[in-house]
Amino acid sequence: MLESNIALSELAMQAREELRSNFGVASTLAAAAPGRVNLIGEHIDYCDGFVLPLAIERYIVIAARPNDSTVARIGATGLNPIELDLSDRQEIGEPKWSNYLRGVIQGFMELNYAIPGFDAFIVSSVPLGAGLSSSAALECCFATLLEGLVDTVLPTQEKALLAQKSEHDFACVPCGIMDQFASTFGVKDQLILIDCHSGEPEMVPFSDPSLSIMVANTNVSHDLSDGGYGARRKDTEDGLTLIGKESWRDVTMNEVYAEREEMGDRIFRRSRHVVTEITRTIEAVEAFKKGDFSNIGTLMAGSHRSLRDDFEVSCDELDLMVGLAKEIGFEGGVLGARMTGGGFGGSTVTLCRTADVEKIAAQMHQRYQAQTGITPLLFATRPAAGAHLL
């Protein structure tokens, strides 16, 4: 069962209505920012690698109105509203979700912007904690709203880095640059190739209507993810130190093999993932540019295996979902499938023929539910526009 994506205009209307019913005011500005899904290049944004995400047709929208005070009153669906004092330095605080916003406010303060008081309401169609980066969507949407409130436009890269800094310093998640870059740089019908060494994005067209990207949220998230992400980063740092290079970009598989004994099995496998995933991503970009989709499936399958066996960030449910797509196979319209995002639960991404996507989703939904007892969420998307004022 393929769930349809709620139109951005509809979501914006919801945000405005919520602002009115919760704070009794009509909105004067609204911002939107999308979640993202990564096609290939996983866990290598923090290793100077290449990643190939796209912004998805799932958004966070914030509607707001200045309130003639020095306080931000912010509501969000299903959460108690918060109040943030805009006249003072921001600190980490409760509730947890407020920290994504506190960090962005602090970022603007450090750029010497005085933010006027405002009321705001947040609505979203990005599933939370599903590996689709609702956190980056929230930061980037809020940063875009603040741009509107202080009447400025930051360079896109600067805005993305400000949002990432908020996630690092306030949400205490040491993420790479992929999520915030995808949420801010997204363009309709374009994949975003990010060179995480130079920090430069390059657009790769994805406009063939006969191809669709399907996301399958397993609806599981394992507690491991907390320490797991940091531990993987540490492993890759240790691997690079043993190899004795400045950047993973300059490391060959021969150099990894040369240090195999010194590294021990775990660091060796982590290192092998980084080097082979960088290669796979470069090859996938070439394939997309040439329209040669026969190779994409092999590359996505290789990426999944490497994440499962070498990087150990998959889980049974992700493996099952990818296996179900593989079972349907090329004849059934599946060109490739893999886990996407940080792992330990979350979502898979499947490249499908558009004509078959409904049928593929129905089968995967039914079989996944039958085997796990968990209802998954499946939706199709095309590359969407990044953060913008509405």
Q: How far is the CB of 41 from ligand ADP (least distance, A)?
A: 17
Q: Is 113 helix (H, G, I), strand (E, B) or coil?
A: coil
Task: Choose among Mg ion, ligand ADP, none what residue 129 binds, the Cβ cut-off being 5 to 8 Å by kind.
Answer: ligand ADP
* 31 in contact with ligand ADP (CB under 6 A): no
DSSP 230-241: HHHHHHHHHHHH
* 129 in contact with ligand ADP (CB under 6 A): yes
* 66 in contact with ligand ADP (CB under 6 A): no
Q: Which of 337, 354, 273, 276 is nearest to 301 (CA)?
A: 337
Q: How far is the CB of 219 from ligand ADP (least distance, A)?
A: 12
Site for ligand ADP in 215-234 (CB under 6 A): none
Q: How far is the CB of 105 from Mg ion (least distance, A)?
A: 19
User: Which residue in 10, 89, 96, 110 binds ligand ADP (CB under 6 A)?
Assistant: 96
User: Which residue in 5, 106, 125, 135 binds Mg ion (CB under 5 A)?
Assistant: 135
Task: Indicate the length of the chain as a whole number.
Answer: 390
Q: Quick check: 163 and 14 in contact, CB under 8 A?
A: no
Q: How far is the CB of 126 from Mg ion (least distance, A)?
A: 10
Q: How far is the CB of 118 from ligand ADP (least distance, A)?
A: 17
Peptide bond into 95 cis (omega under 30): yes
Distance from the Cα of residue 163 to its chain's centroid: 13
Q: Which stretch binds ligand ADP (CB under 6 A): 23-31, 92-100, 274-282, 353-361?
A: 92-100
Q: Which stretch binds Mg ion (CB under 5 A): 24-32, 38-46, 130-138, 195-203?
A: 130-138
Q: How far is the CB of 209 from ligand ADP (least distance, A)?
A: 28
Distance from the Cα of residue 313 to its chain's centroid: 16
Given 119, 179, 235, 310, the catalytic residue: 179
Q: Which residues contact 21 (CB under 8 A, 6 or more apart)?
A: none
Binding marks (x or -) toward ligand ADP, 41..60, rule CB under 6 A?
A: -------------------x
Rounded CA-CA distance 345/336 in Å is 19
Rounded CA-CA distance 78/377 in Å is 20
Respond yes or no: is residue 179 known to be catalytic: yes
Q: Which is nearer to ligand ADP, 94 or 246 (CB)?
A: 94
How open is the CA angle 52-306-200, to the nearest 5 degrees? 25
Q: Which stretch binds Mg ion (CB under 5 A): 67-75, 112-120, 131-139, 332-340?
A: 131-139
* 339 in contact with ligand ADP (CB under 6 A): no
Q: Give the other-Cβ count within 10 Å of 224's Cβ.
A: 15
Rounded CA-CA distance 175/29 in Å is 29
Backbone φ, ψ for residue 292 (5° rounding): -95, 90
* 124 in contact with ligand ADP (CB under 6 A): yes
Q: Which stretch binds Mg ion (CB under 5 A): 113-121, 126-134, 214-222, 300-308?
A: 126-134
Q: Which stretch binds ligand ADP (CB under 6 A): 126-134, 147-155, 158-166, 350-358?
A: 126-134
Q: Quick check: 89 and 128 in contact, CB under 8 A?
A: no
Q: Give the other-Cβ count within 10 Å of 48's Cβ.
A: 21
User: Which residue in 27, 106, 134, 306 binds ligand ADP (CB under 6 A)?
Assistant: 134
Q: Is 40 helix (H, G, I), strand (E, B) or coil?
A: coil
Residue 277 bridge partners (DSSP): none
The residues binding ligand ADP (CB under 6 A) are 60, 76, 79, 96-97, 100, 122, 124, 128-135, 138
Residues assigned a catalytic role: 179
